A = this chain, B = another copy of it.
Amino acid sequence: MFVRLLTAWVLGLPLLALAQPQPSIDRPFSDADLKAAASLRDRALQGSGAYEVVASLATEIGPRSAGSEGDRAAVAWALNKLTQLGFQNVRAQDVTVPHWARGFAEVAIKEPWPQPLVAAALGGSVGTGEEGIEGDVVQASNIDALKKLSRREVEGRIVYFNTRTERTRDGHGYDQAVRVRLDGASAAAALGAVAVAIRSIGTDSDRLAHTGIMLYAANTPRIPAVALSNPDADMLERQLGSGRPVTLRLKLSARDLPPKRSANVIGEVAGSGADAGAAHEIVLLGAHLDSWDLGTGALDDGAGVAIVIAAARLIRELKPAPKRTVRVVLFANEEFGLSGANAYAAQAGSELARHVIAMEADLGAGPAWRFETRVPGAMLPKTQFIAKALQPLGVERGGNAAEGGSDLNPLRRQGVPVFDVDLDATKYFDYHHTANDTLDKIDAKALDQSVAAYAVAAYLAAVASGDFGRVPASAAEK
């Protein structure tokens, strides 16, 4: 997961009045459709095959950050896997991706009490050069607090952001905390800081730092930026709490390399619609193929890759196939700039209008607990049938402010309606973007339940009478 929009919560609509299908709306699903959806659900729960897919990706490929050897191998893996599993129109869509190399990160407190700290460069950070950087630490709780400091208080120093990440089911704790990771370096550089360290954006207490993309503003110096593991952030804060000046030393070899070729990998379950119009309509099931480099990308986003592949595969086994095409898109480089998402939207052209619904799985391995939508108001009654089909899975109806996952941002901004099957993120940010993102963190049963939810929602979108319209970009959309 990259950055989700806070607007998702602001736009939530009360839906109590819509809890039952409205008698005045035509039924968008036949009894056979709803029965097929129920059978998909049951088959997924009995064993969706998703665990085997993510185990294969984590074991045979592992780390696959944009431009790396693992990235290249992952594209080959995905083409092979989709073909092997019987998908149609399997293809790679060329994407140029940035290539950043992490190198090493040596970070230590020098004064008052020397201690080595576990740290990781933030994605995109510049290095320090051979000589490293040493400086006194000035602490701030967030960017707003930093901006209240004078240039004199910050200049020549290393800014440390102590922002903590709240543990939440829907991940909003991450959304609130992540701003210091994204913009902290430039905010600090604007006041003359020489480097930035942040408390890891994560909810664990392990000596493993959380990486993730950071952004440089065009008008400020590019200064190195690292995340400290949470216990190391505690250590730094205890030393700062002593009232003595605290000196930090950083040496990073992070650097940018020339861009590389990667690819979105696409496979389809072709629509069976008798009229070509329906068969050419698309329900998009997305996930991202890349991962950060520290872990094996089992949760982020191997689980998502597995969920959408397994969901589409179950749909493929239905007779008859749904009238619309279910398209799996495994996006290139979500983590380091949404390269695949932007390339997909840019190349979609006239096809864009045929995207009836888009969904992405990129918040771990489940279980699914909520169904959100972003459709025009007139389409809400139709989505209530889908919500009802998800109820036996323990999935509750959320609002109509779904954001669809980072890779769907470009589509959503162009009006494509999206569904969110929200996965339980309570523990997700313990592991997110760390070395600890490994297969053992995935529960196969929760993964199967997530597949069930994605399969039901995607299938019903693919058979519904009529489409879900277009959603005009709201003023709140970025």
Contacts and interface: CB of A to CB of B under 8 A. Distances in A.
Interface string A56-84: 00111111000000000000000000000
B438 A207 contact: yes
A231 B438 contact: yes
B113 A440 contact: no
Contacts of A434: 207
A439 interface: yes
A170 interface: no
A115 interface: yes
A325 interface: no
Contact of A439 (B59, B234, B439): B234
Given A61-B113, A439-B231, A55 B238 contact: yes
Nearest to A61: B113
A230 interface: yes
A208 interface: yes
Contact of A435 (B61, B207, B234, B436): B207
B61 A436 contact: no
Interface in A377-394: none
A230 B60 CA distance: 18
Contact of A235 (B59, B205, B208): B59
Nearest to A112: B60
Contact of A206 (B61, B115, B206, B234): B206
A239 interface: yes
Interface string A150-181: 00000000000000000000000000000000
Nearest to A118: B435
Contacts of A115: 59, 62, 296
Interface in A421-456: 434-436, 438-441
A322 interface: no
Nearest to A234: B440
A295 interface: yes
A235 B113 contact: no
A429 to B, nearest CB: 15
Contact of A207 (B61, B116, B295): B295
Nearest to A235: B59
Interface string A112-131: 01011010000000000000
A59 B207 contact: no
B436 A207 contact: yes
B206 A208 contact: yes
Contacts of A436: 206-207, 231
19 contacts: A59-B113, A59-B115, A60-B113, A61-B113, A62-B113, A62-B115, A62-B235, A63-B116, A115-B296, A118-B435, A206-B206, A206-B436, A207-B208, A207-B436, A230-B440, A231-B436, A231-B439, A234-B438, A234-B439
